[in-house]
Chains A and B, each alone.
Chain A
């Protein structure tokens, strides 16, 4: 525990010192890295040895206490939070070198400390303080470039959304806390299992809405595609990679604290998972802004995680341990994997935006020749996120598909239906994700440059590349050697899910070893075939020419398929969902002249639900405004009337 506290102090101390104009990144970045090293040691111990670390100190605030608690679940979330944030800080040190924003590193360190606090807090008040620290610090990081109107708009949307979530959480803790005394989590969990089904149902729904807003579950995701593109890239990486996972942490915590869940909980999670997964990937396909597309893809991945949690919950309800284990294990693996490859992709996107000055995918092309390292890492990230072996994304999907297959065999129609929905949904999502990331990688890195901004692009310095390659290494490591790792860690798995026998964990670990083995065989086969090809071509004529293209005489870069045209068949097929607006481009004359065409896909939920809702609220608020005159004596009158009213209440 000492090490964990030291890590937190390191973060806060580094943050405060970085406010000094001469220090800045020079103390904050080492602070993040040292905190990661200090924090990962106890977290791995907890994960591999089981056991719980805790530390409690009194706090004068009513109901509050400084109660830190690290069990296997906290440790599992803590490791990616600290590691990804440290890598993000290393990258950011170079990325933000010319920034004049002095408070940046202060807020960055606070964000990391807040996230660590959220997963370690074991008292409701302390938890909410950490939660708000995280929310506010990330708000200030989102509005780093506040001289641009869209960034301010994004910050505003984010601020509203995050506080909507916090409001739900306050009600949740009030409900769960019930009696007097400090609002520690132990008594809450102790009473949780015995509470009435109505209270528990309400707690669950509040958790899904409150935590789901942070996680970016459709329909509470609207802040995500606004805030993530607006923030600097290493901040987007941290927010998308690990910050939104704190929402998932909350949902998992509530889910595992309420005893055996009723069937409808599982169905709610699966339903929201399908909505987020399919919705997220479709909107990702329709975006032209690279970072916005990545943000929507985060919504998709949160959907996959929810599918796993839902499947696990349904398996739990029916007492089918294998489904329960595989559902939750798949969800947890996907949380870890997504933290790695999504932050990798955001860092790559930042490098591209840095080099070209734009995020418009239709303007890129041919970057692979100019940015070898960024291209290589982005390719690895794309394959990982598309769930292709031998990368780590496949491992999470493997566990979920296997859980779905076991569920499908059940004699219970509900369990069977849940399994079938998860399998079909996951297959569709992963198929569309392959399309989405083929498009992202292909349009940015391959072919010929589509605009001048690509001409002078080059790789960033090694300080930015190193964190990206480290993330690629982790992705490959999990993808190719997860089996042995999982077998080693299986005590931790069963500690995280009490009552789940380690035999299941061992059986799953042996399956994963087989996956690793065959994925390794595939890599070896690739190398052998590449060698064979070289052998064949030795001494033969190998020529360079223009792209043949069925005999085009003069191919031009403008003729290439763009990112938009690549996705057009799919976006057209799902036009009822996407409502893409296309303007221009129609040919009127026999000899068409210059013409322009543009398309934009706004968020359907935001345009169709929140904007009408908020303009309605605004109208209501304007009506109330008549009470506000700015006359001081009227306000005094209001106060007097209120006091009078309270007095009568007390007397009556």
Chain B
């Protein structure tokens, strides 16, 4: 039960660089497909444009529809405040903060789903239904990864866990960490609605989950949603980065550069996954998530057996 130093660095990095993360994914996909692709900063331009627009609301909707994006963005910013980055402790850290981390992600999902149901549209109902389905399966996977990390490091808070993971821990228990990293990557893809779970590219078509839930939002509301989605990518990727590339040299700038490069690497990996494979058939997605959960259980068994 030690106190940590607090730092606003992770929050600043997250708030400013999250849309850039999406830019890297898109640029990777474009390069693999032989296209030039949109500018790296396109996500920022989109946000700027949307923030300057008016809005259109369906007559069916109520205050829930308006509150959805607001609550969702507030929840993910609160999550960002709990997320460590590049060896810097998070803005706010306490024993058990990872439970609140998962809880606030739940609030964001809930807000998005009820805002979607508020439109009374069958598409958006469909998206909410599928989101509820997949996220209820992704939840145990995230938790198993947390449990393995807590067991390996003996810590209860995200900041402490991340600072405990280092080359020593990788040398001692590489299989467990590798398995956990794999299941965290699956959670990252599923929670952020990426291929193979969902296809973010088929914007305004019928195959998707996240995009279909936000069809009716416009203007600043939609900007909030897009920004919140970018932040969610950032938050989950920085969890993963803390596991796969724990660089703790003691020189802040080396650590930060290494972490930023890792994040870029995760973005490129996401882009490559999206380029080489198609979205899974809907009924196969649970198998992917259950498989990722099985990896977590395996990591556990390996560690107990030692």
Which A residues have a C-beta under 8 Å from some C-beta of B? Answer: 365-366, 368-369, 379, 383, 386-389, 394, 397-398, 401-402, 404-406, 408-409, 413, 416-417, 419-420, 423-424, 426-428, 430-432, 434-435, 438-439, 441-443, 446-448, 507, 510-511, 514-515, 517-519, 521-522, 525-526, 528-530, 533, 536-537, 540-550, 552, 555, 557, 559-561, 565-570, 573
A499 to chain B, nearest CB (A): 21
Q: Is B16 in contact with chain A by the CB < 8 A criterion?
A: no
Q: Is the CB of B60 within 8 A of A434?
A: no
Q: Is the CB of B122 within 8 A of A559?
A: yes
A194 to B185, CA, bound (A): 53
Q: Is the CB of B147 within 8 A of A405?
A: yes
Q: Is the CB of A537 within 8 A of B92?
A: no
B210 to chain A, nearest CB (A): 15
Identity of the chain B residue whose Cβ is nearest the Cβ of A428 in the assembled complex = B140
Identity of the chain B residue whose Cβ is nearest the Cβ of A558 in the assembled complex = B122
Identity of the chain A residue whose Cβ is nearest the Cβ of B126 in the assembled complex = A561
Contacts of A547 in B (CB 8 A): 58-61, 119-121, 216
Q: Is the CB of A570 within 8 A of B122?
A: no
Report the 9 A-B pairs with minimum CB-CB distance, sorted nearest first. Answer: A561-B125, A447-B120, A431-B136, A431-B139, A442-B117, A514-B94, A435-B132, A427-B143, A541-B54
Q: Is the CB of A570 within 8 A of B70?
A: no
Interface Cβ pair total, 8 Å cutoff: 264
A561/B224 contact (C-beta < 8 A), A431-B136, A522-B74 known: no
Identity of the chain A residue whose Cβ is nearest the Cβ of B216 in the assembled complex = A548
Q: Is B73 in contact with chain A by the CB < 8 A criterion?
A: yes
B33-41, B98-106, B233-241, B265-273: which lies at the interface: B98-106
Give residues 107-165 of B contacting A (CB, 8 Å). 107, 109-110, 113-114, 117-126, 128-130, 132-133, 135-140, 142-144, 146-147, 150-151, 154, 156
Contacts of A419 in B (CB 8 A): 147
Q: Is the CB of B150 within 8 A of A409?
A: yes
A507 to B94, CA, bound (A): 11
Contacts of A379 in B (CB 8 A): 64, 114
Instruction: List 15 additional contacts besides A423-B146, A446-B114, A569-B129; criterion CB under 8 Å.
Output: A379-B114, A398-B103, A438-B132, A441-B114, A514-B92, A515-B94, A517-B92, A537-B219, A540-B54, A540-B219, A545-B56, A547-B121, A561-B126, A565-B129, A566-B132
Q: Is the CB of B106 within 8 A of A387?
A: yes
Q: Is the CB of A561 within 8 A of B55?
A: no
Q: Is the CB of A542 within 8 A of B70?
A: no
Interface centre among A388, A432, A555 (most CB of B within 10 A): A388
Q: Is the CB of B128 within 8 A of A566?
A: yes
Q: Is the CB of B78 within 8 A of A549?
A: no
A406 to B147, CA, bound (A): 9
Give residues 150-197 of B contacting A (CB, 8 Å). 150-151, 154, 156
A519 to B291, CA, bound (A): 33
Contacts of B150 in A (CB 8 A): 405, 408-409
Main secondary structure of the interface of A (DSSP, over half): helix
Q: Is B81 in contact with chain A by the CB < 8 A criterion?
A: yes
Q: Is B215 in contact with chain A by the CB < 8 A criterion?
A: yes
Q: Is B304 in contact with chain A by the CB < 8 A criterion?
A: yes
Contacts of B53 in A (CB 8 A): 540
Q: Is B71 in contact with chain A by the CB < 8 A criterion?
A: yes
Residue tally, chain B, CB below 8 Å to A: 84
Q: Mask for B186-221, Cβ within 8 A of A = 1, else 0? A: 000000000000000000101000000001100111
A555 to chain B, nearest CB (A): 7
Residue in contact with B57 in the complex, picked from A424, A441, A542, CB distance below 8 Å: A542
A38 to B84, CA, bound (A): 50
Q: Is the CB of B57 within 8 A of A543?
A: yes
Which B residues have a C-beta under 8 Å from some C-beta of A? Answer: 1, 51, 53-62, 64, 66-67, 70-71, 73-75, 77-78, 81-82, 92, 94-97, 99-100, 102-104, 106-107, 109-110, 113-114, 117-126, 128-130, 132-133, 135-140, 142-144, 146-147, 150-151, 154, 156, 204, 206, 215-216, 219-221, 224, 282, 286, 293, 297, 300, 304
Q: Is the CB of B95 within 8 A of A398?
A: no
Identity of the chain B residue whose Cβ is nearest the Cβ of A513 in the assembled complex = B94
Contacts of B151 in A (CB 8 A): 408-409, 416
A427/B139 contact (C-beta < 8 A), A389-B104, A540-B54 known: yes
A31 to B135, CA, bound (A): 47
A66 to B54, CA, bound (A): 72
A552 to B216, CA, bound (A): 12
Q: Is the CB of B99 within 8 A of A560?
A: no
Q: Is the CB of B133 within 8 A of A518?
A: no
Residue in contact with A398 in the complex, picked from B100, B140, B142, CB distance below 8 Å: B100
Q: Is the CB of A565 within 8 A of B220?
A: no
B51 to chain A, nearest CB (A): 6
Q: Is the CB of A383 within 8 A of B97?
A: no
Identity of the chain B residue whose Cβ is nearest the Cβ of A552 in the assembled complex = B121
B93 to chain A, nearest CB (A): 9
A573 to chain B, nearest CB (A): 6
Contacts of B143 in A (CB 8 A): 401, 423-424, 426-427
Q: Is the CB of A401 within 8 A of B51?
A: no
Q: Is the CB of A530 within 8 A of B121?
A: no
A401 to B77, CA, bound (A): 23
Identity of the chain B residue whose Cβ is nearest the Cβ of A569 in the assembled complex = B133
Q: Is the CB of B126 within 8 A of A434?
A: no
Q: Is the CB of A388 within 8 A of B120?
A: no
Q: Is the CB of B70 within 8 A of A550?
A: no
Q: Is the CB of B95 within 8 A of A507?
A: yes
Contacts of B125 in A (CB 8 A): 442, 447, 560-561, 565-566
Contacts of B113 in A (CB 8 A): 438, 442
Residue in contact with B221 in the complex, picked from A522, A533, A544, CB distance below 8 Å: A533
Contacts of B224 in A (CB 8 A): 529, 533
B109 to chain A, nearest CB (A): 7
Contacts of A439 in B (CB 8 A): 132
A568 to chain B, nearest CB (A): 7
Q: Is the CB of A537 within 8 A of B59?
A: no
B164 to chain A, nearest CB (A): 12
Q: Is the CB of B107 within 8 A of A368?
A: no
Q: Is the CB of A420 within 8 A of B300?
A: yes
Q: Is the CB of B96 within 8 A of A402?
A: yes
Name 16 A/B residue pairs within 8 A (Cβ), A-sorted.
Answer: A388-B103, A389-B107, A408-B147, A409-B150, A417-B304, A420-B144, A424-B293, A438-B117, A438-B128, A448-B60, A514-B94, A522-B104, A529-B73, A548-B121, A548-B216, A549-B123
